[in-house]
Amino acid sequence: MSKRTLALIAATIVSIIYGMTFTIAKDVMPNYVQAYGFIIMRVGGSAILFWLVWLFSRISKDVRDEKIDRADYLRIFWAAFFGVALNMLAFFKGLSLTSPISASVLMVSTPIIVLVLSAIILKERMQKRMVFGIVLGLIGTAFLILYGKSSGNATNPTLGNFLVFINATSYGLYLVIVKKLMDKYNPFNFAKWIYLIGFIMVLPFGWNQFQAVDWTSMPMDIYWKIGFVVVFSTFGTYMLNLLSMRELKPTTVAVFVYLQPVFATVFAISLGKDELTLVKIVSAILIFTGVYLVTQKKG
């Protein structure tokens, strides 16, 4: 199996996990943990995991000791800001105000943002096939937007949807920034700094909400869902994204966001919270076709 195929599989797994996360995180917020308090758990827990993995890899000598250039610390700072702090603050607050389906659908604006940023910052040339694939994915997503109904627990969908769009923009910029770090360093050597700096950034916003959590009255399944978000939705997806970006362009990685509404719907159906319709089938076909066109190498 080629490295590119492994990278595509990794990107698909990330989309599956993210598709599940919309519903799982919504079960936690805001009844048991407020949005910013949840971010403290997510970023803090992931930072600990990254530092533990890095220490273990240093002891086992799996990762060489690279010195990060002083000029690249500024890039790491901005990666932490856009990829962790602003990204998660906007997403979790937005998700707490809108519905999971609306949030997952809005995330599909990320490939368009990355497409523009990559052309400006990385000077990438977009092939007609890739542009067509992105447009096809947007058409498929439009069907989901027209079909999607509110889950009934969206307290402020307008503000929530706007914050999710801010999150998508922030994540798109992060993908472009971190690509240059990926080309230069081993991911473990800068990922630990990105999450540590990101944790310091989000700490003032979520500390009071984190302290207000009533751990004694929290059901066991909520503990498991928090653990899923920390270990899989944050730490695991970050590592899989790093693997993907070693072989794929930021625009290719970003287009996998189109799969999130599909997997979010499949997850909801598996829990008996939704049903399969012709509109969803057509949407899935269009979205997967768009992803295929964008990810294929030039013949």
Residue 69 DSSP code: P
C-beta contacts of 75-78 below 8 A and 24+ residues apart: 75/177, 75/180, 75/181, 76/181, 76/190, 76/193, 76/194, 76/197, 77/197, 78/177
pTM over 0.75: no
- pLDDT reading at 148 higher than 60: no
Instruction: Tell me the per-residue pLDDT of 195-234, one tens digit each, with 9 for 90 and over.
Output: 999 999 999 999 999 999 999 889 999 999 999 999 998 8
Could you tell me the pLDDT band of residue 277, with boundaries at 50, 70 and 90? low
In a 13 Å sphere around the CA of 79, the CA atoms on its Cβ side amount to: 22
Considering only residues 51 and 65, tell me which one the structure prediction assigns the higher pLDDT: 51
Considering only residues 155 and 154, tell me which one the structure prediction assigns the higher pLDDT: 155
Residue 183's pLDDT is 76
SS3 91: helix
